[in-house]
Amino acid sequence: MQAPSVGGVMLPRGNGETIRLSRGASLTDFAEKINANPASLVAVMMNLGEMVTATQSVSDETLQLLAEEMNYNVQIVSPEEEDRELLESFDIEFGEDQGSEEDLVVRPPVVTVMGHVDHGKTRLLDAIRKTNVVAGEAGGITQHIGAYQVTTEVNGEERAITFIDTPGHEAFTAMRARGAKSTDIAILVVAANDGVMPQTVEALNHAKAADVPIVVAVNKIDVEGADPTKVRGQLTEYGLVAEEYGGDTMFVDISAKQGLNIDSLLEAVILTADATLDLRANPKQAAQGIAIESRLDRGRGAVATVLVQRGTLRVGDTMVVGDAYGRVRAMLDDSGKNVTEAGPSMPVQVLGLTNVPGAGDNFIVVDEDRTARQIAEKRAARERNAAFAKRARRVSLEDLDKVLKAGEVQQLNLIIKGDASGSVEALESSLLQLDVGEEVDIRVLHRGVGAVTESDIDLAMGSDAIVIGFNVRAAGRAQQMAEREGVDVRYYSVIYQAIEEIEAALKGMLKPEYEEVELGTAEIREIFKSSKLGNIAGVVIRSGEVRRNAKARLIRDGKVVAENLTIDGLRRFKDDVTEIREGFEGGINLGNFNDIKVGDIIATYELREKPRV
Ligand code: GDP
């Protein structure tokens, strides 16, 4: 069969071989796999009616289409698969309990509270926590670590429940998007005085999509006009039928404010778990789980809350969480107490990690520090590559010229690092809301919790980005690297200050500010008349140096008498020169300008773009 040719370039057609590409790969990645020129693949796509650039990340469908045209079989590998393969190469399996049936013991359900804004999610999480404070217990200061565990008596048995205490489905979905399953049961909070609202439906759909059973908490029954029956009716339309109506969803009427029926709600969670889920785990294996929340603490370094899903995590264990790793130096529970071990469904705050993992990152305990480090490094490298790939279009120098001439969009690329995920997100969203006109676009290429690292500088170099450190500094050699490579790293500790400065920088980008820098002055001693060039000033350089093509003004008796002149010609004796320094004599021709007198001063200057500080 004839190979397709584009513009006379022969393309390497395949014979149905399989090539593997990461999800979101670009035509350049594709070209690399089959040893072709990326530009020729761009042309192939154009023939197929799709305009894509070589470096832009494309959809699964586009990759499939291209593969078909080129006679390859493409296998698209998701990030989760890639990670699974990485762990497999170390003989580690994530997600399955080891051992046999006998090794499995019942574990507490993990619950997320979801629902429409203002329906009482936060209040409910507080109320549940309060019912469980063991009175007078030493060291029992409640701490927000991102999750907590409570116990409740069901059928004469003490049963534990773990609550993820970031309410709302955003965290839930963000984790799920990363392939992490954190939640066993969702409590859907619906205010009885307000009924089913848009976010109620949204939350419900998220839970259903994740195949998570729902317990409905009909809240605010203390409020006048509360109508719990109406809520039941409304939810029937979405497939949640209350038990008392013959369905299989438990509805509990509560008041988070008055602490009413909280026990019944907890009981409903346990009963639902027992009826629909088989929540068991092996506590004896090496611990595995996921990170729920993390931040950088000034005194203690990286602090991460992890949820143990199987196995038992112990102080001294070597763990890897996303691209962070380390030996567990200490563990704290949700009351701030030191604990030495944590079994299945237990949330603990872990100290001792090298850096801050992301929410939803999985964690595993491994035998050797070296393994942990290698896995973490491989993941970091992959993240970096993915970030590079995500980079908008790569504007080369010649492109940039064209883009600017065409007056197209200019883009300010940012990398944001901060001490907590909340502040990073807040800063990012405020920056993205900055309105600086049509011409400039802000793009956040990468964001994360932790110090500014060499890999951030790497990314900034490759994409002309500015790095923002919010309450963090550069780590290791990152600062030197930034200085060497001319990467702009800015540190802030107040959000509005960061926003103000970026806004100012953006406005500067729209209209560069220039400042005048004086170069040198020349005093006119004599005037020569040339038939060809007009008047030529015979000068002595009084200060600095005078350069050809520099801007100039003419000063007579201390007053500027002419502006916007140019040093058109510059001579020493008979030679054209580019500059004459202080103390030397020479001849200056100011082009068409001839109105000069002996004693006048020619002051030269240059316009320099003002550095933004
Ligand atoms: P969220 O946005 O879902 O987290 O809602 P909040 O927990 O912040 O609650 C929103 C408002 O409703 C707050 O003013 C709460 O005090 C109030 N609230 C929450 N639960 C109840 C309740 O059971 N009864 C009454 N009367 N008010 C409640």
Q: Which domains does the chain have, with CATH numbers?
A: 2-82 (no CATH), 105-280 (3.40.50.300), 288-384 (2.40.30.10), 408-509 (3.40.50.10050), 513-610 (2.40.30.10)
CA distances from 357 to 29, 207, 344, 379, 531 (A): 28, 25, 20, 11, 77
Helices assigned H by DSSP within 407-551: 421-432, 454-463, 478-485, 495-510
- Stretches in the chain below the pLDDT threshold 50: 1-3, 7-8, 134-140, 390-409, 510, 612-613
Tell me, using a 6 A CB cutoff, whether residue 166 lines ligand 1: no
> What is the distance in A from the centroid of ligand 1 to the CA of 224?
14
Residues 6+ apart with CB under 8 A from 160: 108, 149, 150, 151, 345
CA of 123 to the centre of ligand 1 (A): 5
pLDDT at site 429: 81
Q: Ligand 1 centroid to 172 CA: how many Å?
A: 21
Contact between residue 462 and residue 487 where contact means Cβ atoms under 8 Å apart: no
Quote the CA–CA distance of 518 and 543 in Å, as a whole number.
10
**What are the start-end ranges of the H helices in 7-78?**
27-34, 38-47, 60-69
Atom 9 of ligand 1: nearest residue by CA position: 120
| DSSP strands (E only) in 229-273 | 251-253
Is residue 219 within 6 Å of ligand 1 at its C-beta?
Answer: yes
10 Å Cβ neighbour count for 20? 14
Q: Degrees (nearest 5) of the Cα angle 467, 461, 498?
A: 15
3, two tokens: 């190979």
Numbered residues of the known binding site: 115-122, 165-169, 219-222
Q: Give the Cβ contact number of residue 492 at 10 Å.
A: 19
| Spatial CA neighbour of 73 closest among 106, 34, 45 | 34
| Cβ atoms of 359 and 145 closer than 8 Å | no
Residues shown for the chain: 613
Residue 310 CA to ligand 1 centre (angstroms): 35
* Rounded distance between C-alpha atoms, residue 511 and residue 410, angstroms: 12
Q: Is any ligand 1 atom within 6 A of the Cβ of residue 169?
A: no
120 touches ligand 1 (CB under 6 Å): yes
Tokens matching residue 101: 């049936």
Q: Is the CB–ligand 1 distance for residue 222 below 6 Å?
A: yes
- At 127, give phi and psi (nearest 5°): -65, -40
Of 491, 414, 485, 296, nearest in space to 477 by CA = 485
| Pocket flag, ligand 1, residue 126 (CB < 6 Å) | no
Question: Which ranges in 320-453 belong to alpha helices (H)?
Answer: 369-390, 397-405, 421-432
314-360 tens-digit pLDDT: 999 999 999 999 999 999 998 889 999 999 999 999 999 998 888 78
Distance 114 CA to ligand 1 centre (A): 13
- Residue 465 corresponds to which tokens in the numbers above? 């980005």
Q: Enter the tokens of residue 208.
A: 């259903």
* Pairing outcome for strands 73-77 and 251-253: unpaired
List, in order, residues 6 or more apart from 601 with CB less than 8 Å away.
521, 522, 523, 524, 542, 554, 555, 556
Cα–ligand 1 centroid distance for 118 (angstroms): 6
Ligand 1 geometric centre to CA of 189 (Å): 10
89 contact partners, CB below 8 Å, separation of at least 6:
none
Q: Is the CB of 604 under 6 A from ligand 1?
A: no
Q: What is the Å distance from ligand 1's center to 146 Cα?
A: 20
53 within ligand 1 shell (Cβ under 6 A): no
Using the atom order of ligand 1, give the atom closest to the CA of residue 119. Answer: 3
Residue whose CB lies within 8 A of the most ligand 1 atoms, among 131, 257, 260, for a mutation test: 257
Share of the chain above pLDDT 90, in %: 44
Burial per residue of 294-307, b for 16 or more beta-carbon CB atoms within 10 angstroms, e otherwise: bbbeeeebbbbbbb
Q: Is the CB of 256 under 6 A from ligand 1?
A: yes
The whole-model pTM stands at: 0.64
Residue 146 neighbours by CB under 8 Å, 6+ apart: 164, 165, 166, 292, 293, 305, 347
- Please give the number of the atom of ligand 1 that sits closest to the Cα of 126: 7
Query: Does residue 167 have its Cβ closer than 6 Å to ligand 1?
Result: yes
> How far, in Å, is the centroid of ligand 1 from the Cα of 150?
21
Task: Say yes or no: CB of residue 223 within 6 Å of ligand 1.
Answer: yes
Determine contact, residues 11/3, Cβ cutoff 8 Å.
Answer: yes
The residue nearest atom 18 of ligand 1, judged by CA position, is 120
Output the pLDDT for position 389: 53
Could you give the CA distance from residue 553 to residue 73 in angstroms, rounded to a whole number?
70
Closest ligand 1 atom to residue 115 Cα is 3
Q: Is the CB of 118 under 6 A from ligand 1?
A: yes
pLDDT at 190: 97
pLDDT for the residue numbered 505: 67
120 CA to centre of ligand 1 in angstroms: 4
Q: Please give the Cα distance from 242 to 246 (Å, whole number).
A: 7
Ligand 1 near 220 CB (within 6 A)? yes
Going by the annotation, the residues of the binding site for GTP are 115-122, 165-169, 219-222
